[in-house]
C-alpha cells in the first residue's frame, strides 16, 4: 500500500510539473534567492518578467524581489547576508568594497545614464546653470553621480560655478520641485522628461543619447556566495537573459506592459507604453557590465570616500558568467539567431 501511495503521489507530482513545465526536483524544492532592488525602473523589467513568467523557477530558483528605497540600506543588507544579489546603482557597493568586501558585478542592467538635465524654460545654455540649484535623489545614488558627470561634460564645476545639488527625492518629487521653481534643473529619466518637456521645460542634456560612460545599474553577488553556489548564479543569469528575449519579442508587448504596470504600480496598462519603449531602446542584448563605466563610478565615489580610490574596477567587474553563455551560443538560441 505504501508503495502504491508513494507511486500515486509521484504521478500526481509529475502531472503538476508537466503542467508547469518544471522538472520534478524543482517542483519539490526551489532554492530561495533574495534580490534587492533600490529603484523600480524599466531597467529592472527583465527581473519582473523573469519572475512573473516563472523563468527563474525553470532553473530551480524561488526568486524574491525586494524593494529597498535606499542604496546604502541595500549595501548593509548585502553585507549582512540578508540578500544574495543586489540590483541597484553600484555607488553604495563601491563604498562597501572599500571596506574589503569581495564582490562580483556580473550583469549590466543599464550601462549608460538614463537621465536628462531638465531645466526651467529660460535656461537653455550650460553657462545658464552657474549659480543655480539642481535636484537629484540621494547623494551617492545614480541621479547624483549622473549630475556630476553631466556637469563635467558641460564644462561646469560645482565649486567654481557655485552650483548646488539638492536632494529632492525621486522623479515625481523633482517634477514638482521644477514646477514650483524650488530648483532650476532636475535629473529626470525618460518618462518624466517627456512629461516636463511637454509642459515647456527644456531638455538641456540627454545623457543616454550622448552615450556618456557610466555604469548605471546592475547585478552584484558576493564572490564567496558565487563560488559556493555556481548553479544559482548561472541559473539566475540564464533566466534573466531569457526574460530579455521575451521582452524583445514584439508579440509580447501587451504582457510586458501588464507586468510593468503591476510591478511599478502604474495607474493603468496604457501608462506602461513609454516604459516599454525605454526598455526596447536601452536594454542591451548582451548586457555585459562595462569596465569604463564602473571606473567612472569609482572616480566620483572616491571624491566623497577617499578609500574608494584604491579600488580596482577589474577586481569587481566580472563578465565571466555572461561569457560562458556567449561561448555556448546561449544568446543565439534564446534570441533565435537575431
pLDDT digits (tens, 9 = 90+) for 285-335: 999 999 999 999 999 999 889 999 999 999 999 999 999 999 999 999 999
pLDDT digits (tens, 9 = 90+) for 185-198: 999 988 899 999 99
H or E element that contains 51: helix 45-52
Q: Is it true that 30-113+214-334 and 116-211 share their CATH fold?
A: yes
- DSSP assignments along 299-334, one per residue: HHHHHH-GGGGG--GGGTB--HHHHHHHHTTHHHHH
Question: Which band of pLDDT confidence, cut at 50, 70 and 90, is reported for residue 4?
Answer: very low
> What pLDDT is attached to residue 6?
41
Which CATH class for the 116-211 domain?
A: alpha beta
> What pLDDT is attached to residue 213?
83
CATH topology of domain 30-113+214-334: D-Maltodextrin-Binding Protein; domain 2 (3.40.190)
Question: Is the pLDDT confidence value at 14 over 80?
Answer: no
Contacts of 88 (CB under 8 A, 6+ apart): 36, 37, 38, 39, 71, 74, 217, 220
- Beta-strand relationship, 116-119 and 202-206: antiparallel
> How many angstroms separate the CA atoms of 245 and 241, rounded?
6
If DSSP codes are grouped into helix, strand and coil, which group holds residue 64?
strand
pLDDT digits (tens, 9 = 90+) for 68-85: 877 788 989 999 999 999
> How many angstroms separate the CA atoms of 34 and 109, rounded?
17
Question: Is the pLDDT confidence value at 167 over 70?
Answer: yes
Domain ranges of the chain: 30-113+214-334, 116-211
264: which DSSP letter? T
In 3D, which of 250, 222, 209 has the Cα closest to residue 336? Answer: 250
> What pLDDT is attached to residue 19?
43
Amino acid at each position: 500500500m505504501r508503495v502504491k501511495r508513494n507511486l500515486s503521489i509521484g504521478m500526481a507530482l509529475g502531472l503538476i510539473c508537466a503542467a508547469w513545465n518544471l522538472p520534478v526536483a524543482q517542483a519539490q524544492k526551489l532554492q530561495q534567492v533574495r534580490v534587492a532592488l533600490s529603484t523600480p525602473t524599466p531597467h529592472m523589467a527583465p527581473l519582473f518578467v523573469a519572475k512573473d513568467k516563472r523563468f527563474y523557477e525553470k532553473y530551480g530558483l524561488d526568486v524574491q524581489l525586494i524593494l529597498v528605497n535606499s542604496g546604502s540600506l541595500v549595501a548593509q543588507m548585502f553585507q549582512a547576508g540578508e540578500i544574495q544579489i543586489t540590483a541597484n546603482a553600484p555607488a553604495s557597493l563601491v563604498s562597501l568594497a572599500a571596506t574589503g568586501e569581495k564582490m562580483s558585478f556580473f550583469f549590466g542592467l543599464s550601462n549608460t545614464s538614463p537621465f536628462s538635465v531638465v531645466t526651467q524654460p529660460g535656461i537653455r545654455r550650460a553657462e545658464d546653470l552657474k549659480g543655480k540649484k539642481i535636484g537629484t535623489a540621494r547623494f551617492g545614488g545614480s541621479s547624483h553621480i549622473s549630475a556630476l558627470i553631466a556637469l563635467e561634460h558641460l564644462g561646469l564645476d560645482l565649486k567654481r560655478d557655485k552650483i548646488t545639488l539638492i536632494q529632492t527625492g525621486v522623479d515625481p518629487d523633482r517634477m514638482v520641485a521644477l514646477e514650483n521653481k524650488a530648483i532650476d534643473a532636475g535629473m529626470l529619466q525618460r518618462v518624466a522628461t517627456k512629461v516636463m518637456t511637454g509642459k515647456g521645460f527644456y531638455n538641456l542634456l540627454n545623457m543616454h543619447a550622448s552615450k556618456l560612460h557610466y555604469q548605471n545599474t546592475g547585478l552584484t553577488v558576493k564572490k564567496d556566495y558565487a563560488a559556493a553556489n555556481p548553479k544559482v548564479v548561472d541559473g539566475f543569469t540564464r533566466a534573466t537573459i531569457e526574460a530579455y528575449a521575451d521582452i524583445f519579442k514584439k508579440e509580447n508587448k501587451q504582457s510586458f506592459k501588464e507586468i510593468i504596470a503591476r510591478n511599478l504600480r502604474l495607474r493603468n496598462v496604457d501608462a506602461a507604453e513609454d516604459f516599454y519603449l525605454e526598455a526596447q531602446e536601452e536594454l542591451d542584448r548582451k548586457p555585459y557590465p562595462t569596465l569604463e563605466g564602473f571606473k567612472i563610478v569609482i572616480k566620483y565615489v572616491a571624491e566623497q570616500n577617499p578609500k574608494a580610490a584604491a579600488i580596482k574596477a577589474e577586481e569587481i567587474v566580472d563578465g565571466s558568467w555572461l561569457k560562458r553563455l556567449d561561448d555556448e551560443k546561449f544568446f543565439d538560441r534564446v534570441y533565435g539567431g537575431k
